[in-house]
Chain A
Amino acid sequence: MVPVEQLLIISILLPLLGSLAEIFSRRGIILTTLTALTLALLIVCLPHLATGLSIQYFSYSNIVLELHICRIWDMYAIAATLIILLVEIYSIGYLWDDYRRGWFFFFSGLMHFGTLLLLFAGDLITITIAWNVLELCSYALIGHWYRDEPERYVGEGISMRDMVLLWSPSAAAYRAIVITSLGTSTMLVASCIAFARTGSLLLTSLRHLKSMMFDIFIILAVLVPSAQVPFTEWLFTAMAGPTPASAMIHSTTLVNAGAFTIFKIGSYVPCPHGLLLEIVLIYVILSTIVSGLIGVASREVKVILAASTTIYVGLLLYVSLLYWSTGATSLMMLGLIILLAHGLSKACLFMTCGYMMHLSKTRFIDDVRVFLRFKPSFVALILASANLFGVVVPSLGFLMTEMSIEYSPWYMIPLLFTSHVISIALLMKIILTFWDLRRRGVESIDEVELKDLAMEIPTLIMMVLPYLLLVLFHPYMRVTVLTGISLGVAIAAIIACIYLRDYVKSMRIIRILKLRLGLPYLVDRVMGLGFKRLCMSIYRAFMSLDAYIHGINILKVATKFRNFDLKIDYKIHIRLPRVFVEKLCKIVNMLHTDKAVRDLAYVGVLLVLIMMVVVIVLLLF
């Protein structure tokens, strides 16, 4: 008999161990080995998880924290671990000469740990902790190049009113953590509300939770890490990090946290009021359309990919919300298929494009001058995109499109088609650009190194896996009229993209979309700078009040604080309130001589001694 419980705990802790080891070893090899071991352990445990398994790891009175693992979540964990493993192998090569390798691997291991914790969570607080871990890791990975070199910046540099769309890694990381912290804190509050209502944190005991507030907070919380419309900005600037970090954040970890959470909660908590959920469903798909359109206008490769991510993450979120309302188990399987299909292909796309960007030292699609030496890379690009397009019949992507249409209510189908067409347009933009490059014949690089192999092999594996893994999911394949329609729409979209390309480029709407609907302005200027100015004015007001309390003319203070120079020995004259004891003021005037200081010190010491005497007298009594 396999000791399933122990093996699962070990498999969760292994990435943590690996990440700790990487602080010192810095090459990523230990972490990769341990991740592979985790994958093996999770696969070994899979057959033994026919009934769910609960592991309590903390309990005090009614605060019980536990991991709840069943077969479907183990499968999710296997899928996530597989993708993360491939990305980690890739990053060994990518970061071979980097100046901060150790911490990169530390945080990628920690991110893996957080993902596993989220997937196996059996209560709301574990979910919240996992969200926090993911949030922190994505912050650290986005801000990986901490020296803020100009070539690491993201943004097209076009100006919008008084701001320039250009962000340093530090700014990108800061935006990411501040925006996602809204999601995390809302999630925390929601779980505490559930605790206050039901007296328990376990998901299994939330069956009778009927709370409008809980539902609203949860839905608000999951929209944030999923990067749905008002919160897309953090994902678009999250590109400042290294490519493997983007691949990891986008394919499996933080962006999917919202959908995973809804799947978790949806199994137990009764679904919210029908109308609310329907509005949210429509909103999510609309938001994917909008963010996809933003990506169409962009010149930056990674932003285009990010927009494509928001579409698929929106789809996953949509499926999870559908699961919450209907409770159909095959939707959970669909979620797994989306995770695999999107995760593998998106990571593959990131790696291929990222490598090309890395070599040509640019982030803009028009400036790519170096093409991959390795021939299959273009094939990888095509195959991964074709998987996401759903045009190749025996692929996970096809299954994903087909199933998501099959399970949707009728009024959602046009919206889903629209978002699918936009995602095709996004990826076609990249493919067509590279196709042109290939025809023109650009310079290539011929040296083969071990680190290049480390980058190419995972890319190749990711390229073929979506097609191979269909073997596991073939029972879900079904051919209906809708399948034919979706296939037709996809092919039509691809052809349209090829022929309408130049026309789209000249459209005026592109210029507007380039400004991302003004969302950067909203986030940076209105929310960021506006809030900062509010803080500054409050600061000035309270500084003047402060000075007024301590007896300085308010007008003089205003000028004084404008040139408020804070150095080690800054001199600010604080006068004690005159209404206070006159004698104290006299002492203050005396204090400018050292002798007076000494006198005062003696007074202080005397006071202490008097205190001591009082204590001793009391003791004697």
Chain B
Amino acid sequence: MIMIAVSLIYIPLIIAVLLFLLRGKIVNNCTRCVLSTLACIIMTVPALYYYANNMTTLCEILVRAPYVGPLILWITPVSAFMILVSGVVASAVSVFSLSYMEHRCEELHISTELSTYYGLYVLYIQGLLGMLYSRNLILMFIFLELAAITSFLLILFYGYGNRYRVALLYLVWSQMASLLVLCGILLIHVWTGTFLIEHVTAIYDTTSIIALSLILVGLLIKMGTFLVHFWLPWAHAEAPSPVSAILSPVHIGVAGYVLMEITHTFYVPIMKAMSPYLMTYGIVTMIYGGMMALSERDIKRFLAYSSISHMGSMLICISMCNYIGEAALVLVFVAHALAKSLLFMFSGFCISRLGFRDFENLFGLYDVYRPLSVAGIIGFISLSGVFNIGLLSKIYLTFAIADEVMLVQYPWKIGLISIYILSIMITIAYCFYAMRRLYFGVARHIHRVRPVYSMDVPIIVLALLTIVLMFPPVAHIAIGKIILYNFVKVFGR
């Protein structure tokens, strides 16, 4: 069976090439948008097939390559839900891009034909979803690089501010990370003799520890956690809004998934020993991101710092090797992906249709354009974890933490829980602070705007999804599958 290969690699590749080639007046931007959305949807078809047939795992061998071993594409319960949500987000963003990018191209005084943009976009999504699909570490790395380079090019071509420097900065940081990850992967091969993600019975030696530290550092850079996050606010704030809407929630979230997949397969005992330290680091990242977001004055940088904060909570999930940690990770990813891409698109609305991106000028938006403001409010509420899917992810995250904290010594226990409560409060504080600044008051300097359906509908759809996914059954079935799968995995050992 070659379903994943066809729908993940061949068809999107053909579509991307077509998009690059069909320049001029052969097709219009609308067709390009449809093509790229179609590619995004096709890439999620295997996950749908997986759920429809109620499978445990879906594996297929792409090819048996020399040295590298079999290149296997697979779907696990953990990745399936992430693929589905990333696909939905990517399709929504693809529709959103149409009028936004035309506006951006006009601003940049370049041709408004979006063939390059959509071609790169499809390749970018392919890279991101490929990471979720692949079981072979080398294949995973190739997709990682594909995503890194295409996103670099997108920032370079269409970014804001001093985009050349920002793009290069991003390229250097991400290549540094990739290099570390590559070295780590090769060392893992030296240690275990395989590139496949599967349980091995090798004894931990120096090589394995070096490999772990390289991969950890590399992927933490990719995730943008505390002290290795410096590239993130630049790249996320200066990228064009649709690219930020993918870059911020999905890209760094997928890096977290890769880290989880590698550490939970090869390094379970070590991760268990490291768990309190990594958890503390995660909580510190959460608090740091929240504090920076509270003092930020630019809406996109604000959202970027909030992403850092959420990567902290993702790191907390990664740090625990219990059966609930992975479920929490998936939920945090999903909640963050939906809410953050919604909000980045909302910031795109502010930039392109209102002409402002700083909080000093953005206020009283509730009266300016009602539907999108309500969608934005729903996004903020979901992001803060007070309600919607965010609440669900917060509950699972706290489950996982409480499960782990019970094993910690007493004074540590109280300290960890207290700073965790503080971090939740800061998250709520910055979300509602932003809402207070954005929506309250009367804006006399902004005129009411007219609807642009290609921009409004994706935002509203994502806002509805954050509400719908909170209630059973969709998310609950997915989470149930993950918990069951992890039970089997844990007891299988």
Residue of B153, B162, B291, B484 touching A605 (CB-CB under 8 A)? B153
Select one of B149, B356, B429, B433 contacting A608, CB under 8 A: B149
Over the window 139-174 of chain A, the binary record of Cβ atoms lying under 8 Å from chain B Cβ atoms (1 yes, 0 no) is 100010011100000000000000000001111011
Does A572 have its Cβ within 8 Å of any Cβ on chain B?
yes
* Interface assignment of A614: CB less than 8 Å from any CB of chain B: yes
Tell which of B160, B425, B479 has the most Cβ of chain A within 10 Å.
Answer: B425
Select the stretch in B27-35, B59-67, B88-96, B205-213 that faces chain A. Answer: B59-67
Which residues of chain A from 171 to 206 have any CB-CB distance to chain B below 8 Å in the complex? 171, 173-174, 177-178, 181-182, 184-186, 188-189, 192-193, 195-197
A125 located at the interface, meaning its Cβ lies under 8 Å from any Cβ of chain B in the complex: yes
Are A538 and B386 neighbours in the complex by a CB distance under 8 Å? no
B366 interface residue, CB < 8 Å from A? Answer: yes
Q: Does B85 contact A (CB under 8 A)?
A: no
Q: Judging by beta carbons under 8 Å apart, are A60 and B429 in contact?
A: no
Whether, in the assembled complex, B200 has its beta carbon less than 8 Å from a beta carbon of chain A, the answer is no
On chain B, the residues within 8 Å of A611 by CB distance are: 142, 145-146, 149
Chain A residues within an 8 Å CB radius of B150 = 608
Q: Does A580 contact B (CB under 8 A)?
A: yes
Q: Does A597 contact B (CB under 8 A)?
A: yes
Q: Is B428 close to A, CB under 8 A?
A: yes
CA distance in complex: A567, B295 (Å): 16
B51 within 8 A of A: no
Secondary structure of the A contact surface, majority rule? helix
Q: Are B357 and A568 in contact (CB under 8 A)?
A: yes
Q: Would A618 and B65 count as touching, CB distance under 8 A?
A: yes
Q: Select from chain B the residue with minimum beta-carbon distance to A591.
A: B164
Q: Which of A69-77, A518-526, A542-550 contacts B (4 or more CB under 8 A)?
A: A542-550
Chain A residues contacting B288 (CB-CB under 8 Å) are 538
In Å, the complex CA distance between A549 and B9 comes to 38
Q: B407 — nearest CB in chain A belongs to which residue?
A: A196
Query: What chain B residues lie within 8 Å of A60 (beta carbons)?
Result: 476, 479-480, 483
Scoring A residues 580 to 621 as 1 if CB is less than 8 Å from chain B, else 0, what string do you get?
A: 100010011001100001001100110110011011001101
- Chain B residue contacts of A177, Cβ below 8 A: 386, 428, 432
Evaluate whether A532 and B387 lie within 8 angstroms (CB atoms) in the complex, with A60-B480, A574-B165, A604-B152 already known.
no
Any A CB within 8 A of the CB of B441: yes
Residue of A nearest to B324 (CB): A63
A618 in complex: contacting residue of B68, B234, B429, CB < 8 Å: B68
Q: Which of A126-134, A332-340, A431-439, A486-494 contacts B (4 or more CB under 8 A)?
A: A126-134
- Residues 379-409 of B contacting A (Cβ, < 8 Å): 381, 386-387, 391, 394-395, 398-399, 401-403, 405-406
Interface residue A573 (Cβ < 8 Å from any Cβ of B):
yes
**A132, B387: Cβ atoms under 8 Å?**
yes
- Chain A residues, Cβ within 8 Å of B399: 192, 195-196
B105 within 8 A of A: no
Q: Are B230 and A546 in contact (CB under 8 A)?
A: yes
Q: Which of A45-89 contact B (CB under 8 A)?
A: 57-58, 60-61
Q: Is A213 an interface residue (CB 8 A)?
A: yes
**Interface SS, B side:** helix
Contacts of B436 in A (CB 8 A): 170-171, 173-174
Confirm or deny: A40 has a beta carbon within 8 angstroms of a beta carbon on chain B.
no
Nearest residue (CB) in B for A580 is B172
* Docked-complex contact A135 and B386, CB < 8 angstroms: yes
Interface size for B (C-beta < 8 A) is 83
Contacts of A580 in B (CB 8 A): 172
B290-330 to A contact mask, C-beta < 8 Å, 1/0: 01101111100100000000000000000000000000000
Find residues 42-98 in chain B having any chain A CB closer than 8 Å to their own CB.
Answer: 62-66, 68, 71
Partner of B421, one of A173, A189, A573: A189
A587 to B358 Cα, complex, angstroms:
31
Given A188-B394, A549-B230, does the pair A174, B169 have CB atoms closer than 8 Å?
no
Interface residues of A in 509-548 (CB under 8 A from B): 531-532, 534-536, 538-539, 542, 545-546
The residue on A at minimum CB distance from B357 is A568
A193 & B476 in contact (Cβ 8 Å cutoff): no
Please tell me if A465 contacts chain B, counting CB pairs below 8 Å: no
Q: Which residues of the other chain, A, contact B216 by a CB distance below 8 angstroms? A: none
Set B123, B169, B292, B405: member contacting A576, Cβ < 8 A: B169
B277 at interface by CB-CB < 8 Å: no
Q: Is A571 an interface residue (CB 8 A)?
A: yes
User: Which partner residue on chain B sits nearest A194 by CB separation?
Assistant: B402
From B296, B420, B440, B487, A169 is in contact (CB under 8 Å) with: B440
Is A147 a contact partner of B441 (Cβ separation < 8 A)? yes
Q: Which residues of B contact A184 (CB under 8 A)?
A: 386
Residues of the A chain whose Cβ atoms lie less than 8 Å from the Cβ of B172? 576, 580, 584
Nearest opposing residue in chain A for B299, CB measure:
A566
Q: Give complex CA distance A532, B297 in Å.
A: 13
When the two chains form their complex, are residues B164 and A185 in contact, meaning their CB atoms are under 8 A apart?
no
Contact of B291 among A57, A539, A545 (CB under 8 A): A539
Nearest chain A CB to B372 CB, angstrom units: 15
Inter-subunit contact B146/A146 (CB<8 Å): no
Are A619 and B161 interface neighbours, CB within 8 A?
no
When C-beta atoms are compared, the residue in chain B nearest to A534 turns out to be B291
Chain B CB within 8 A of A570 CB = yes
| Residue in A148, A549, A618 whose CB lies within 8 Å of B71 | A618
Give Cα A575–Cα B172 distance, bound, in whole angstroms.
12
Q: How far is the CB of A124 from chain B (nearest CB, A)?
A: 10
Report the bound CA distance from A453 to B155 in whole Å: 62
A63 smallest CB distance to B (angstroms): 8
Asked if A427 is an interface residue, CB under 8 A from chain B, the answer is: no
* Contact among B165, B391, B425 with A132 in the assembled complex (CB-CB below 8 Å): B391
Instruction: A162 to B68: give the CA distance in the assembly, Å.
Output: 68
CB distance from A619 to the nearest CB of B (A): 5
- CB–CB B165/A174 < 8 A: no
Complex contact B357–A125 (CB within 8 A)? no
CB pair B440–A170 under 8 Å, yes or no, is yes
Q: Give Cα distance in the complex from A185 to B68, angstroms.
A: 48
B268 is an interface residue with CB less than 8 A from chain A: no
The 3 closest A-B pairs by CB, nearest first: A192-B402, A170-B440, A185-B424
A546-B230, A597-B164, A604-B149 are known; give 20 further A-B pairs, CB within 8 A: A58-B476, A128-B395, A146-B439, A168-B440, A174-B432, A177-B386, A181-B429, A188-B424, A189-B420, A192-B403, A535-B295, A536-B295, A538-B292, A538-B295, A566-B301, A566-B358, A573-B162, A576-B165, A600-B156, A608-B149
